[in-house]
Structure 1
Amino acid sequence: MDFGNYRPCVGIMLLNRNGLVFIGRRRNKRLQGHIATDHEWQMPQGGIDAGENPYDAALRELLEETNVSSASFLAEAQDWLTYDLPVEFAKKSWKGRYQGQRQKWFALRFEGDDSEINIHTPAGGQKPEFDAWRWEPMQHLSELIIPFKRPVYEKVVESFRHLSEKV
């Protein structure tokens, strides 16, 4: 896979039994390029390690950011989606190696109890990504994400809209 100047990444839309989506509020408010007032919320996402397939990366990232392991596969977005970082942040993020991210998105059903979610000390010894979380209706996601990622979120919602029904 050639990603050009884009960091290979996965995104996870985790839906509960009521059709609501997990969103977390970014912990590091000083991290330029990823936080904007009133747009600090996002779904779990993260990089794909060398030799790792995207679905395995999605499960790993979900565990590392939320502690969730009780999830089942629902769908995979057909296309890879990209976003560019604003120029003023691109040179600072990822040591200037990437202009943005190229993401493969997966929808998963959360099969556990909310008590399984632990954003403060998630599995894998990773630094926490989020300082708060909640379940949110899918149609609100694009309003909560930082504006330069909004087109990706709109496409993700379009791809997975059919999964928002209560089960």
Structure 2
Amino acid sequence: MKNNKSYRPNVAAIVLSSNYPDKCEFFVAQRTDIKGAWQFPQGGIDKGETPLYALFRELKEEIGTDEIEVIAEHPVWIKYDFPAGVSKKLYPFDGQKQKYFLVRLKNNANINIQTDVPEFDEYEFVDYKELFEKVTHFKKQVYRQVIDYFKKEGYL
């Protein structure tokens, strides 16, 4: 049976504080358009962009800095479907296929979520347990899958 779903190509960043590797603190932010929806920075890959280029562009657009060190890249694209309530008018896709990167903020990085078009209105650095208490329900499984991979590989 053929899957007729369409997925938007996307990058996502698991941003660790500059305290890594001494302390493992994950950056999460609350979306401006959906109160209570906390997530990692992410965004679409524009035509002609590589995932790595899109990663740096999206971080600059969403958290005001691209002052990061890339620690690792997840080896496969991961798909997820949008929840049933997401309007096809808002997103002409059924979900997203994402390339995940594990990154560390450089010591001099300054986060500023008050960007030209703010996507987040709050952010925090949280530990592993708090991360899964905070993030939006439909992303927990994907986040756990990706973080477990990076843990298995010895990055976390």
What is the TM-score when the length of structure 1 is the normalising length? 0.80
Contact 1:90 1:98 in 2 (8 A): no
Q: CA RMSD in A?
A: 1.9
CA distance in structure 2 between the partners assigned to 1:152 and 1:8 by the alignment = 15
Is residue 12 of structure 1 aligned with residue 10 of structure 2? no
How much has 1:151 moved relative to structure 2?
A: 1.3
Q: Runs of 4+ in structure 1 displaced over 4 angstroms?
A: none
The within-5 A match list for 1:38-117 is 40-94=37-91, 97-113=92-108, 116-117=110-111
Is residue 136 of structure 1 aligned with residue 126 of structure 2? yes
From 25, 28, 49, give the equivalent of 2:30: 25
User: Aligned letter for 1:24?
Assistant: A
Gaps (5+ residues) in structure 1?
A: 30-34
Is residue 159 of structure 1 aligned with residue 153 of structure 2? no
* 1:158–1:111 CA distance, 2 compared to 1 (3 A): same
Contact 2:64 2:114 in 1 (8 A): no
Q: Which has the higher helix share?
A: 1
Identical pairs, percent: 37
User: Aligned letter for 1:103?
Assistant: Q
SS in 2 for 1:52: coil
Number of aligned residue pairs: give it: 147
Gaps (5+ residues) in structure 2?
A: none
